[in-house]
């Protein structure tokens, strides 16, 4: 990677940081990234280390860079800190000038009736600005689609991927092919694909035949709708906009089916699930693992060099396996935490062995342990990390504490906002707040993990990966570790914060003791063991 300037010069071009000193470890991390001769530079930097500045400085030094993050919220946060970087979102985030009740993803412009506002289109203008900018901030999904089909953001000297531990799911979702029951019915293929496994003698051929037929029928439907749209004098009615969306849906299915035929192998699996929030079944074909060939085709070929960053990382062999990387092409740096250990203690305090088989016994023990922790933090905000809504409900019912609030999938954000804004000693018990939220200061001063967050073996992908070999077993254990570490970090966001963590499920203790090296050094240095303050006999601790 050609470097155009040094780190100080690059920082001086970032208006909100030009007068600030680099934090500890930032300059050595930048040197590691810019001096490495490997194509992939991986940086594990805990919260508070300043990953964003490291990434942006490296991007300026490279001359041009894409900065990718997992969500639009993070995009907005980055651009607020780095206004020199131009953010671009999907079309559905920009108002249509032809009809301000619509967005640009329902563009009504056709060959016969081109949009009179084309030259003023907000999305087109913003995209042109992003293309011209030396620094662009994009989200994963948008970048993958744009790089795959238009290529306008490909070929940069450096692409930075932040929160890279969340990348695999998005990448697999981009590669996978899915059909709803409604789509299969519209295609006249309601019987669905063959239920033969791909390992059957003709299983792969039957899948490809299904994909080829879906591709042909999707294109026929999309072409037919396009002819109908071209016959409209003007697109003004809601039903006409619905036609536009339907056309785009079937063109999308056509493109995905073609990608599927080109890439499916015997390492793929087919699964039928129910779409969240509806009773509609979804049939999905997806790779069990992202192979090097898939990763190169859909992502790694889109830039010359990559900087991959996160506060928490899977162990290197597992990380490389999940993203189709050759470990020999990866340079790795783990940065120490800059937060004082005494402000982020982690107590392993096993008060119950929590498994599906032992829940009836474990829940009263968990409630007893949680109440003891509440006594240690009588006036403070805290969070209890659960793993399912049903477990959270059972524990809350057992606790009978007026401090506890829980939520459903529907009111999650409302309850979370109420928790954050409350001034009393409220504790939120949730299965879904181990990532993506920042609870600095007094918003969260203690964290309790009530159950080891192992992935469900009822998930076919999880079970097949687990039993696929040593890497699968390591991935399964490491994924649990990653969730625990992420969850413990919700309340420790700066040096001035203070947050105590309690890991009260024996299964977390067991996993830690069996493979301590899987856990980050900065996490391990804060760990201590605490015995329950009452006579306690652990049962079924296998």
CATH value at residue 508: 3.40.50.300
Residues 154 and 46 in one domain: yes
The H or E element containing residue 213 is helix 203-230
Residues 163 and 218 in one domain: no
CA end-to-end span of the chain:
51
Residues 121 and 80 in one domain: yes
Return the pLDDT at 196: 54
The values of phi and psi at residue 194, to 5°, are -60, 140
Residues 58 and 203 in one domain: no
**Contact in structure between 303 and 146 (CB atoms under 8 Å):** no
Residues 242 and 315 in one domain: no
Residues 155 and 28 in one domain: yes
Q: Considering the domain boundaries, does residue 453 fall inside one? A: yes
Q: Considering the domain boundaries, does residue 540 fall inside one? A: no
Rounded Cα gap, residues 483 and 321, in angstroms: 18
How many other C-beta atoms can be found within 10 angstroms of the C-beta atom of residue 361? Answer: 15
Q: Considering the domain boundaries, does residue 538 fall inside one? A: no
Q: Considering the domain boundaries, does residue 482 fall inside one? A: yes
Q: Considering the domain boundaries, does residue 536 fall inside one? A: no
Residues 210 and 307 in one domain: no
**Contact in structure between 519 and 485 (CB atoms under 8 Å):** yes
By CB atoms closer than 10 A (0-12, 13-18, 19+), residue 465 is buried
Rounded Cα gap, residues 195 and 197, in angstroms: 6
**How large is the C-alpha radius of gyration of the chain?**
25
Question: SS3 of 153, please?
Answer: coil
**Contact in structure between 529 and 347 (CB atoms under 8 Å):** yes
Residues 454 and 305 in one domain: no
Rounded Cα gap, residues 38 and 284, in angstroms: 35
Angle between helices 389-399 and 359-376 (to 10 degrees): 60
CA angle 151, 264, 221 (to 5 degrees): 70
For residue 325, give Cα distances in angstroms to 322, 435, 478, 481. 8, 25, 18, 21
Structurally, the chain folds into a number of domains equal to 3
Rounded Cα gap, residues 286 and 298, in angstroms: 14
Q: Which residues pair with 136 in a beta bridge?
A: 66, 86
Return the pLDDT at 110: 72
Residues 154 and 168 in one domain: yes
Rounded Cα gap, residues 525 and 520, in angstroms: 9
Q: Which residue, 255, 287, 319, sits at the end of a domain?
A: 287
Q: Considering the domain boundaries, does residue 520 fall inside one? A: yes
Residues 323 and 413 in one domain: no
Q: From first to last of its 542 residues, what are the pLDDT tens digits of the chain?
A: 889 999 999 999 999 999 999 999 999 999 999 999 999 999 999 988 999 999 999 999 999 999 999 988 889 989 999 999 999 999 999 998 888 888 888 887 777 778 888 889 999 999 999 999 999 999 999 999 998 887 789 999 999 999 999 999 999 999 999 999 999 999 999 888 866 555 555 678 899 999 999 999 999 999 999 998 888 877 777 788 888 889 999 999 999 999 999 999 999 999 888 766 566 789 999 999 999 999 999 999 999 999 999 999 999 999 999 999 999 999 999 999 999 999 999 999 999 999 999 999 999 999 999 999 999 999 999 999 999 999 999 999 999 999 999 999 999 999 999 999 998 999 999 999 988 788 999 999 999 999 999 999 988 899 999 999 999 999 999 999 999 999 999 999 888 999 999 999 999 999 999 999 999 999 999 999 977 655 545 554 44
* pTM of structure: 0.89
Residues 17 and 93 in one domain: yes
Residues 282 and 303 in one domain: no
Q: Considering the domain boundaries, does residue 180 fall inside one? A: yes
The H or E element containing residue 509 is helix 506-514
**Contact in structure between 285 and 461 (CB atoms under 8 Å):** no
Return the pLDDT at 99: 80
**Contact in structure between 532 and 372 (CB atoms under 8 Å):** yes
Q: Which residue, 277, 307, 334, sits at the end of a domain?
A: 334
Structural domain harbouring 512: 341-529
Q: Long-range contacts made by residues 231-237, C-beta under 8 angstroms, separation at least 24? A: 232/110, 232/113, 233/113, 234/108, 234/113, 235/108, 235/110, 235/113, 236/99
Q: Considering the domain boundaries, does residue 534 fall inside one? A: no
Name every residue whose Cβ is closer than 8 Å to that of residue 219 and which is 6 or more positions away in sequence: 250, 251, 254
């Amino acid at each position: 990677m050609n470097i155009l300037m040094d780190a100080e010069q690059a920082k001086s071009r970032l208006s909100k940081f030009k007068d600030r000193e680099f934090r500890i470890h930032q300059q050595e991390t930048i040197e590691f990234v810019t001096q490495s001769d490997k194509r992939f530079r991986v940086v594990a930097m805990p919260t508070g280390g300043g990953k964003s500045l490291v990434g942006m400085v490296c991007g300026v030094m490279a001359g041009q860079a894409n900065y990718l993050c997992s969500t639009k919220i993070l995009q907005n946060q980055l651009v607020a800190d780095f206004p020199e970087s131009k953010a671009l979102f999907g079309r559905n985030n920009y108002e249509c000038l032809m009809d301000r009740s619509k967005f640009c993803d329902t563009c009504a412009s056709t060959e016969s009736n081109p949009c009179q506002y084309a030259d003023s289109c907000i999305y087109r203008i913003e995209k042109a600005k992003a293309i011209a900018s030396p620094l662009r901030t994009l989200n994963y999904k948008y970048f993958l689609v744009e790089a795959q089909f238009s290529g306008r953001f490909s070929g940069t000297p450096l692409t930075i991927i932040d929160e890279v531990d969340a990348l695999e799911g998005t990448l697999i979702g981009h590669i996978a092919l899915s059909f709803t029951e409604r789509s299969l019915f519209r295609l006249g293929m309601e019987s669905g694909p063959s239920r033969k496994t791909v390992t059957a003698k003709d299983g792969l051929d039957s899948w490809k035949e299904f994909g080829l037929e879906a591709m042909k029928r999707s294109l026929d439907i999309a072409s037919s709708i396009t002819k109908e749209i071209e016959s409209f004098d003007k697109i003004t009615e809601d039903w006409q906009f619905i036609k536009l969306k339907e056309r785009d849906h079937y063109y999308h299915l056509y493109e995905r089916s073609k990608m599927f035929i080109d890439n499916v192998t015997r390492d793929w699996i087919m699964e039928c699930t129910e779409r969240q929030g509806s009773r509609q079944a979804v049939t999905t074909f997806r790779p069990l693992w992202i192979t090097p060939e898939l990763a190169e085709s859909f992502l790694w070929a889109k830039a010359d060099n990559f900087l991959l960053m996160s506060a928490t990382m899977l162990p290197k062999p597992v990380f490389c396996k999940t993203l189709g990387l050759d470990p020999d092409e990866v340079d790795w740096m783990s940065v120490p935490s800059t937060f004082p250990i005494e402000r982020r203690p982690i107590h392993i305090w096993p008060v119950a062995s929590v498994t599906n088989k032992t829940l009836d016994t474990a829940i009263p023990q968990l409630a007893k342990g949680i109440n003891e922790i509440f006594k240690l933090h009588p006036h403070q905000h805290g969070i209890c990390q659960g793993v399912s809504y049903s477990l959270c409900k059972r524990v809350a019912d057992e606790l009978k504490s007026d401090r506890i609030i829980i939520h459903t999938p529907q009111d999650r954000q409302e309850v979370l906002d109420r928790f954050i804004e409350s001034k009393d000693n409220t504790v939120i018990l949730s299965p879904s707040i181990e990532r993506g939220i920042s609870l600095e200061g007094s918003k969260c001063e203690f964290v309790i993990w009530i159950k080891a967050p192992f992935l469900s073996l009822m998930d076919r992908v999880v079970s097949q990966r687990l039993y696929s070999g040593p890497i699968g077993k390591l991935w399964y254990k490491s994924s649990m570790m990653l969730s625990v570490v992420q969850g413990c970090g919700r309340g420790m966001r700066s040096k001035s914060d203070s947050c105590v963590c309690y890991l009260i499920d024996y299964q977390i203790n067991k996993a830690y003791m069996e493979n301590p090296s899987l856990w980050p050094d900065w996490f391990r240095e804060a760990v201590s063991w605490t015995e329950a303050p009452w006579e306690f006999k652990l049962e079924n601790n296998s």
